[in-house]
Amino acid sequence: MDQQTYEKKMVGEKAAEYIKDGMIVGLGTGSTVAFTTKKLADRIKAENLSIQAVSTSHATSKLAESLGISLLDLNDVQKIDLTIDGCDEFDPELNGIKGGGGALLFEKIVAQASDRNIWVADASKAVNQLGAFPLPVEVLRFGWRHMFRAMEEKGLHPKLRMNGEEPFLTDSKNYILDCHAKAIDDAKALAGWLNALPGVVENGLFINICDQVLAADHDKVKVINR
> Annotation-wise, does 5 bind a ligand?
no
> Annotation-wise, does 86 bind a ligand?
yes
3-state secondary structure (DSSP) of residue 5: helix
> Annotation-wise, does 32 bind a ligand?
yes
> Annotation-wise, does 56 bind a ligand?
no
CA–CA dist 90, 76 (Å, integer):
31
What are residue 126's DSSP bridge partners? Answer: 90
> Annotation-wise, does 28 bind a ligand?
no
Phi, psi of 12 (to 5 degrees): -65, -45
CB 88 within 8 A of CB 189: no
89, 107, 138, 202: the active-site residue: 107
CA–CA dist 81, 41 (Å, integer):
18
CA–CA dist 86, 175 (Å, integer):
21
Tell me the one-letter amino acid at 129. Answer: Q
- Let me know if 89 is a catalytic residue: no
Phi, psi of 121 (to 5 degrees): -150, 135
> Annotation-wise, does 96 bind a ligand?
no
> Annotation-wise, does 101 bind a ligand?
yes
> Annotation-wise, does 98 bind a ligand?
yes
Residues annotated as catalytic (active site), given as ranges: 107
Binding residues for substrate: 29-32, 85-88, 98-101, 125
